[in-house]
Chains A and B, each alone.
Chain A
Amino acid sequence: MTEGPAGAAVEVLNEDEISRALARIAHQILEDNRGADRLIVLGIRTRGVPLARRIVGLLNEIEGADVPVGELDITMYRDDLRAHPTREVRQTRVPVSIDDAVVVLVDDVLYSGRTVVAAIDALRDLGRPRVVQLAVLVDRGHREVPIQADHVGKTVPTSRDERVHVHLEESDGYDRVTIERRATA
């Protein structure tokens, strides 16, 4: 289904599908945790942040709650810092203590799982949550560490030479997830 010609982007999720996936994730989070009590949603920079905000918007709408939402920059916890030029580090904002809380990490794409490992390491330095869960919009497989998501918008089988692009209203002006074969030279 994703076998397009090299360079051509194939749509995996459109605007409505993204909305429905996020709504389902929000309902699942509430179901799994029996409500919004002690819930904190943290978006992993960069595209996890707007997704986390949307999920919290939905949680609050469904439950009439006021769930705290924050932002996590995991650059300083990456295991590949030395393999790249110095990366820019952005803000980390965690509005309330995560001790004994149910932390839901949110990212756009789950791939190797290394970003999530770095995020869990970052959480360890911020406190000791009771539970940490992971919600992603797209799970594209190819894990390199034993990590799996609790809430998945869509599982998309991919090959390693494909790229998944997540476009979001907040940063790109429209909602769309596409998959593209990397052009081979």
Chain B
Amino acid sequence: MKHLLAAADLSPAEIASILDLAEEMHAVQSRQVKKLPTLRGRTVVNLFFEDSTRTRGSFELAEKWMSADAVNMSGKGSSVSKGESLRDTVLTLDAMGVDAFVIRHSGSGAVHQAAGWVRPNVSVVNAGDGAHEHPTQALLDAFAMRRHFRRHSTESWEDKTIAIVGDLTHSRVVRSNVSLLQTLGAQVILVAPPTLMPAGVSTWGVEIAPDFDAVLPRADVVMMLRVQRERMAGGFFPSAREYTVGYGLTRDRLERLKPGAAICHPGPMNRGVEISSDAADSVNSLVLDQVSAGVAVRMSVLYHLLGGEGQA
């Protein structure tokens, strides 16, 4: 693997390899000495043009635990605030001789462009571009789900149905999740009010359901996406209360889920809006598993990109 730009680029074998190694990295995470010498001497720049706690924090931890040198750059406090373009920023850091970029940017496709600008031996990881892709989030979601399946039934993805519920238009994880889960062989149902369905969703090859209640008894996993409060001004739905009534994972809906069905949320959660505290703190909630999977999965991704020959 050279870059990780989109979940759709990953083959089933690559996904399995990343998730299997992540299991090993998860074990490293619980050791006293959380350090592997594997990426010693490699330098990774975390270039975040948008705010992030989980993604940025877990990438930085992953890099440090693999012994890479991590450099953090944000839009604020860099020359970007003086008007430097993304291209010039990437080329400048690239010229300093780094080995990889982890980039988050508000523009869909910006990270793909960056991958075309860097020197041939440099890897680029998409840490979220606009409302387009966020492949490492999809991988860690799959990792947390796979662990849940292994505990409760079988690992097979073919007989699993995953419902993704919420603001699908503005979400950067939904596209990555759908393509990754489809590659794995799972059934995906998208649940959202019509105003929050992404354009062109009918071409994705997934089931689209406007009625959350009808989906509840069928789902092995319900993934609740954050409803961004700032969207309410945009008239996508009338009020937070009304959204919760139609699409929130309330206590009542929680009880109507399949026994053992898992609950995911990529965070940050709006408790009481898209997810009730009963659901967020339920025994089948994978919210914290998703967070702890984040570092392990990103360590695995870094190893797959930088762990072999052909790198500077």
Contacts and interface: CB of A to CB of B under 8 A. Distances in A.
Interface in B234-279: none
Contact of B309 (A84, A89, A127): A84
Contact of A81 (B1, B17, B307): B307
B212 to A, nearest CB: 40
Q: Name B's interface SS.
A: loop
A23 B307 CA distance: 39
A138 B292 CA distance: 42
Interface string A72-116: 010011000111111111111000000000000000000000000
B21 A85 contact: no
Contacts of A91: 24
Interface string B24-35: 100100011101
Contacts of A124: 33
A81 B308 contact: yes
A126 B308 contact: no
Interface in B1-55: 1, 17, 21, 24, 27, 31-33, 35-38
A91 B309 CA distance: 22
A76 B37 CA distance: 7
Contacts of B27: 92
Nearest to B36: A76
B36 A86 contact: no
B112 interface: no
Given A77-B37, A125-B31, A125-B33, A84 B308 contact: yes
A99 to B, nearest CB: 10
A125 to B, nearest CB: 4
B311 interface: yes
A86 B37 contact: no
Interface in B134-151: none
A91 B23 CA distance: 9
B37 A87 contact: no
Contacts of A82: 308-309, 311
Contacts, number: 45
Interface string B69-103: 00000000000000000000000000000000000
Interface in B145-171: none
A76 B303 contact: yes
A73 B21 CA distance: 12
Given A125-B31, A126-B31, A87 B36 contact: no
B218 interface: no
Given A76-B303, A91-B24, A85 B308 contact: yes
Contacts of B119: none
B24 A125 contact: no
Contacts of A37: none
A177 to B, nearest CB: 30
A15 interface: no
A121 interface: yes
Nearest to A121: B37
B36 A125 contact: yes
B306 to A, nearest CB: 9
A86 B308 contact: yes
Contacts of A73: 24
A70 to B, nearest CB: 12
A92 B308 contact: no
B24 A81 contact: no
B308 A89 contact: no
Nearest to A82: B309
Contacts of A92: 24, 27
B179 to A, nearest CB: 23
A129 to B, nearest CB: 14
A89 B35 contact: no
B63 to A, nearest CB: 14
A129 B144 CA distance: 34
Nearest to A126: B31
A181 to B, nearest CB: 28
A126 B28 CA distance: 9
Nearest to B32: A127
Contacts of B35: 125
Nearest 6 CB-CB pairings of A with B = A86-B308, A76-B38, A125-B33, A76-B36, A85-B308, A86-B307
Interface of A: 73, 76-77, 81-92, 121, 124-127
13 contacts: A73-B24, A76-B303, A77-B36, A82-B309, A86-B304, A86-B307, A89-B21, A90-B24, A92-B24, A121-B37, A124-B33, A125-B36, A127-B32
Given A77-B36, A77-B37, A81-B308, 4 more contacts: A76-B307, A82-B311, A86-B308, A88-B17
